[in-house]
C-alpha cells in the first residue's frame, strides 16, 4: 500500500467517531477526497464526494462505507468521580473491563480506564459472571464528582484507546475497521478514478455515511438524496480462519484471499455477475458468501430507497469484529479498490433481473 494511503487509513481509524459523533473522522475523509471530488456534507453528517460522468443524464452510481464505530456515552457520574456509561452500538461486556479508553470532551481527550474488581476479592461464582455494562465504570483519576464535572459532561462520547498497529506481513490491527475500512475503500476509489483522468459513463458518488451501527440511518438519508441507479456498499464481514469461528455460519472466508462478494436477496443478480466476471477478467481474487435475507448493512436501505436500487456488497474479511483489536489484510482493501474501479464502466448497463 502506498504510504499516503496507509497514513490516511491510520488517521481515519484513530479519529474518534462513535455513532452520532462521527465528525472527527468525517473531517479526515472530507479533507482527503477534496482535491479530486466535488464534496458536500448533509445535515446528518454524511460526506458525499462526486465525480461527474461523461455527459448529462448518465446513470448514478453510489458507493458507501460507514464512518461510525461502536463506543460509549457518558450517562452518570457518582460522588466519588466514577463515570457510568452506556454502549453505542454492539459492544461485548466480556471485553470492556480493564480497557483503556478516551473520553471526548469539549476541552479535548481525557484518558481513562474501565475499572475491574481484582480477582483476589471476587467470590468463585462471581468470577464466572459477566459484569453488565451498566454496572461498569470509567476512572479518569478524579477524586470526586466536582472534579469530573469540570471536564466531562453527560452525553460525551467515549472510545477505546487502541489505534492502528502493524502485525506480520500486511496484517494490521485497530479498533473501528468496522467500517472505516469501507470508507477508506470508497475514498481510494474516488482518488483512483480521478487520477486516471478518463471520464466514466456514470456519475460517481462516494459516501462516508453515519449512524449505521444504530440503524442504517445515514445510509438511508444519503441514498434518498443521491437517488442512485446502482449502489455498492463496502463493508466488513466475519473472517472464519480463526480457531473459534464456525465456517458453517459464514462460509470459508480467509484474510488475504480478496474481498467477499455475497449473494442473496439484498444483491442484484446482474450486478453481482458484473462484479464476479470483472474479478475473473482482471485476475482479482474474490471470495463468496451467502446472505439469505436483508444484510443489515447500508446496502439494505439503499436497495429499497425510492423506487428501488440495483445493489451489491463488496466486503472486507475481518477478524475480531466490534473489539479494539479488529484485524485485516491490507491487500484485501487494495483488491476491493481494484475490483470496484474496474467494474465501474460496466455499471452504465441494465440491471433489471430477467
Catalytic residue among 14, 22, 69, 212: 212
pLDDT at residue 183 in the model: 98
14: confidence class by pLDDT, cuts 50, 70, 90: very high
pLDDT > 90 fraction of the chain, expressed in percent and rounded = 94
Report the relative pairing of strands 230-238 and 310-318 from DSSP bridges: parallel
Query: What is the pLDDT confidence band of residue 117, given thresholds at 50, 70 and 90?
Result: confident
Each residue's pLDDT tens digit, 70-108: 999 999 999 999 999 999 999 999 999 999 999 999 999
| Rounded-to-integer distance, Cα 68 and Cα 316, Å | 16
Please report how many Cα atoms fall inside a 13 Å half-sphere around the Cα of residue 334, on the Cβ side.
Answer: 12
User: How does pLDDT run across 207-260, given as a tens digit for each residue?
Assistant: 999 999 999 999 999 999 999 999 999 999 999 999 999 899 889 999 999 999
pLDDT tens digits for range 255-289: 999 999 999 999 999 999 999 999 999 999 999 99
Q: Give 120's contacts (C-beta < 8 A, 6+ positions apart).
A: none
Q: What is the mean predicted confidence (pLDDT) over 132-140?
A: 97
pLDDT of residue 354 exceeding 90, the answer is: no
Please report which confidence band the pLDDT of residue 124 belongs to, taking 50, 70 and 90 as the band edges.
confident
| pLDDT of 121 | 81
> In this model, does residue 123 exceed pLDDT 90?
no
pLDDT tens readout for residues 154-164 = 999 999 999 99
Examine the residue annotation and report whether 235 is marked as an active-site residue of this protein.
Answer: no
- Report the pLDDT value the prediction gives residue 149, as an integer from 0 to 100: 97
Q: How far apart are CA 190 and CA 125, in angstroms?
A: 54
Q: Torsion angle, CA of 288/276/268/30, rounded to 10 degrees?
A: 90
Give residue-wise pLDDT tens across range 26-77: 999 999 999 999 999 999 999 999 999 998 999 999 999 999 999 999 999 9
Decide: 260 and 339 in contact? Cβ < 8 Å: no
Amino acid at each position: 500500500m502506498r504510504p499516503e494511503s496507509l497514513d490516511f487509513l491510520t488517521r481515519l481509524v484513530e479519529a474518534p467517531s462513535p455513532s452520532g459523533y462521527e465528525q472527527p473522522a468525517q473531517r479526515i475523509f472530507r479533507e482527503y477526497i477534496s482535491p479530486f471530488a466535488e464534496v458536500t456534507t448533509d445535515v446528518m453528517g454524511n460526506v458525499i464526494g462526486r465525480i461527474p460522468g461523461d455527459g448529462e443524464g448518465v446513470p448514478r452510481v453510489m458507493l458507501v462505507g460507514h464512518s461510525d464505530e461502536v463506543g460509549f456515552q457518558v450517562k452518570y457520574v457518582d460522588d466519588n468521580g466514577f463515570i457510568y456509561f452506556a454502549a453505542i452500538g454492539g459492544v461485548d461486556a466480556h471485553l470492556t473491563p480493564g480497557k483503556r479508553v478516551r473520553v471526548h470532551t469539549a476541552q479535548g481527550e481525557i484518558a481513562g480506564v474501565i475499572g475491574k474488581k481484582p480477582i483476589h476479592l471476587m467470590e468463585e461464582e462471581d468470577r464466572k459472571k459477566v459484569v453488565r455494562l451498566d454496572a461498569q465504570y470509567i476512572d479518569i483519576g478524579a477524586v470526586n464528582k466536582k472534579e469530573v464535572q469540570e471536564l466531562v459532561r453527560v452525553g460525551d462520547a467515549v472510545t477505546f484507546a487502541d489505534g492502528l498497529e502493524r502485525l506480520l506481513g500486511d496484517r494490521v490491527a485497530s479498533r473501528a475497521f468496522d467500517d472505516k475500512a469501507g470508507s477508506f475503500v470508497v475514498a481510494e476509489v474516488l482518488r483512483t478514478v480521478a487520477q486516471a483522468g478518463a471520464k466514466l459513463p456514470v456519475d460517481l458518488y462516494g459516501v462516508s455515511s453515519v449512524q449505521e451501527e444504530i440503524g442504517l440511518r445515514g445510509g438511508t438519508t444519503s441514498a434518498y438524496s443521491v437517488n442512485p441507479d446502482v449502489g455498492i456498499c463496502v463493508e466488513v464481514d466475519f473472517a472464519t480462519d480463526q480457531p473459534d469461528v464456525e465456517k458453517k455460519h459464514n462460509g470459508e472466508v480467509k484474510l488475504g484471499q480478496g474481498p467477499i462478494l455475497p449473494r442473496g436477496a439484498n444483491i442484484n443478480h446482474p450486478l453481482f455477475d458484473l462484479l464476479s466476471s470483472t474479478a475473473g477478467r482482471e485476475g482479482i481474487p474474490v471470495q463468496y458468501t451467502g446472505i439469505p435475507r436483508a444484510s443489515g448493512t447500508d446496502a439494505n436501505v439503499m436497495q429499497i430507497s425510492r423506487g428501488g436500487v440495483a445493489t451489491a456488497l463488496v466486503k472486507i474479511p475481518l477478524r475480531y469484529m466490534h473489539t479494539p483489536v479488529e484485524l485485516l489484510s491490507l491487500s484485501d482493501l487494495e483488491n476491493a479498490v481494484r475490483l470496484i474501479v474496474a467494474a465501474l464502466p460496466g455499471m452504465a448497463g441494465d440491471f433489471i433481473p430477467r
